[in-house]
A and B are shown apart, each in its own frame.
Chain A
Amino acid sequence: MGERTLMKGNEVLGEAAVRAGCRFYFGYPITPQNELTAYMAKRMDEVGGVFLQSESELAAINMIYGASAAGARAMTSSSGPGISLMQEGISYLAGAELPCVIVNVMRGGPGLGNIAPSQGDYFQATRGGGHGDYRTIVLAPYRVQEMADLTTLAFYLADKYRTPVVVLVDAVLGQMMEPVEFKEPDLPPLPPKDWAVGYMMGRPKRLVTSLYLAPGALERHNLHLKEKYERIEREEVRWEGVCLEDAEVVLVAYGTSARVCLGAVMRGRSEGRRIGLLRPITLWPFPWKVLRKVAEKVKAILVVEMSLGQLMEDVRLAVEGRCPVRLLGRPGGGVPTVREVSEKVEEMSDEGVESL
């Protein structure tokens, strides 16, 4: 396309998926991602793809499993309770090494919670979420343009590593309208899917499974997955730094919280405060190394999240006590404001660096 249009975040996720070659969408309605489901229904008709409204999220993720086993680029989307229902299926996808893209437009929890924006599914997304020893790549855009770019990337990484990829956004981003340009991705070619089922044409049978019953077989499979996850951790960490060079206090935030923090950095800088922002773009793999380096130079880190210390746990693991880490967390639909963040930074400065 190469031109900018004004679009809603949820719809941008869908358009980017279609442009990435996704022709199979399975999903079940849930707020705040319904625009995406509706968009896919319309677009799949136009491009000759398949849109199927499943009977549940359990069914949706297992339809994805089937479609992906047949070699197709497939996507589902949901929020909170629906993503919880998908966890068994995501574990099977990870075990069978099937690529797919799962969009989670986070809402407030636990339980039915509410439909307001939240980042409360951080643990669920970054710790695998289902049973067993596995990881999923987690991409966290913070504006509509990045929602497009990272959805494109999500399909690529899913195929490259044969793994489920989660695009983690919140209701603010889903509803937000911003200009977007769908760029032609410039990505290296992918290997053929020589594991996908269908069209035997003389070759031996193929088996897609997550079952490894022979003695030692599952341990070997787990170690193979670990090797893959280590490769992802080496090669796919993505983050963005703002004013980090001379920062004394560094904010760490992703998604909508990172937008707020960007505002706080601008305001702080205009007032002469040496404040910076580190924004993880991949929540897993997490940017441990850069955070560790940052922690060595700064006086303190403030984690800003729409949850109560989930991101902070990873930040602390990275920092390993090199500097104080504080939390500004707004759960249950609360969205932090620039003012809150600025005040928290001031408060931390007033406390004095020593006591930080």
Chain B
Amino acid sequence: MKVLRAYRKPESLTDVKFRYCPGCGHGIIARLVAEVVDELGIRERTVGVAPVGCAVFVEEYFNFDMVGAAHGRVCPVATGLKRVLPDHVILGYQGDGGLAAIGLAEVVHAAARGERVTVIYVNNAVYGMTRGQMAPTTLLGQRTTTTPSGRNPRRDGFPLKVCELLAGLEGTAYMARGTVTSPRNVRTLKRYIERAIRTQMEDRGFSLVEVLSPCPSNWHMKPLEAIAWVEERMVPFYGLGEVKT
């Protein structure tokens, strides 16, 4: 008899329970990463690098070797790991504050070096862990605790499109932007994550997957409203799809 298991915890996740807020995108993304690592059969030769931000806990969630980096320093830590373990898959995980603000120089240079690492980059248009300040990715007009009257380009500048910024660099081999707002989008995102990791395994260069991800808590929305906000506000501005293959 064939036993149908619709939902099974990937081996690449530990038993530690996720502590993300209800409706947060981080949980889906972490699960997808774990599924891909399982399916590629690379769990025992994968090392993950956890960021500082809401995703700091991936260091407990992923069931492969993990290293906790300083805020914004995922890319240099991943670089150090990859240079010592060239036959391993090095997976960085970062928020938009960590990657696009304090760690922007680091990601640009890791990308320019063509560092053989993969970065999962979670763009939720705010600083999550520190309670909703403006991020480099905050949309124009968006209210945050540090842009109470909305992001004003004259005062606060314009949001950063990281995939497009990095795609022009010769060292980058794979850049894609996905989201978690529907089952279909989740499946597409999973394919992007798999391609990014394969890019690393094929020794082709730096790879990054950006994920437009809801942060209901700091957007002060219900989970469904937050998903609609990603669809209606973030997707039109950032766009979805593979930016570089």
Contact = CB atoms under 8 A, between A and B. Distances in A.
Nearest to B73: A62
Interface stretch (B21-29, B56-64, B176-184): B56-64
Contacts, number: 131
Interface residues of A, number: 39
Nearest to A73: B84
A52 interface: yes
Contact of A70 (B66, B73, B81, B105): B81
Contacts of B64: 200, 205
B85 A198 contact: yes
A24 B67 contact: no
Nearest to B88: A198
Nearest to A201: B44
Interface stretch (B45-53, B203-211, B212-220): B45-53
A69 B76 CA distance: 12
A101 to B, nearest CB: 14
A92 B77 CA distance: 12
Interface string A24-63: 1010000000000000000000000010101110111011
A211 interface: yes
A306 to B, nearest CB: 32
B190 interface: no
Contact of A200 (B65, B76, B108): B65
Contacts of A337: none
B172 to A, nearest CB: 16
B106 A59 contact: yes
A55 B106 contact: yes
Contacts of B44: 199-202
Given A70-B47, A200-B45, A209 B59 contact: yes
B142 interface: no
Contact of B70 (A56, A67, A89): A89
B70 A88 contact: yes
A66 B79 contact: yes
Given A205-B14, A208-B66, A209-B66, A54 B84 contact: no
A211 B69 contact: no
Contacts of A262: none
A211 B88 CA distance: 24
A66 B81 contact: yes
B159 interface: no
A28 B79 CA distance: 15
Interface in A67-81: 67-72, 74
Nearest to B113: A52
B65 A59 contact: no
Contacts of B109: 54-55, 59
Interface in B141-174: none
A20 interface: no
A4 interface: no
B222 interface: no
A70 B47 CA distance: 9
Q: Which of B14, B45, B65, B84 has the most CB of A within 10 A?
A: B84
A96 interface: yes
Contacts of B78: 66
A349 interface: no
Interface of A: 24, 26, 50, 52, 54-56, 58-60, 62-72, 74, 88-89, 92, 96, 197-202, 205-211
28 contacts: A24-B83, A24-B84, A52-B83, A55-B108, A58-B73, A59-B73, A59-B105, A59-B106, A62-B70, A62-B76, A66-B78, A66-B79, A66-B82, A67-B81, A68-B80, A69-B81, A70-B47, A70-B84, A71-B84, A197-B67, A197-B81, A197-B85, A198-B84, A199-B85, A202-B44, A205-B14, A209-B66, A211-B68
Listed from nearest, the 10 A-B pairs whose CB atoms lie closest are A66-B80, A209-B68, A62-B76, A197-B65, A67-B80, A70-B84, A63-B80, A55-B109, A66-B77, A200-B44
Given A70-B47, A207-B67, 5 more contacts: A62-B73, A65-B77, A66-B82, A197-B67, A198-B65
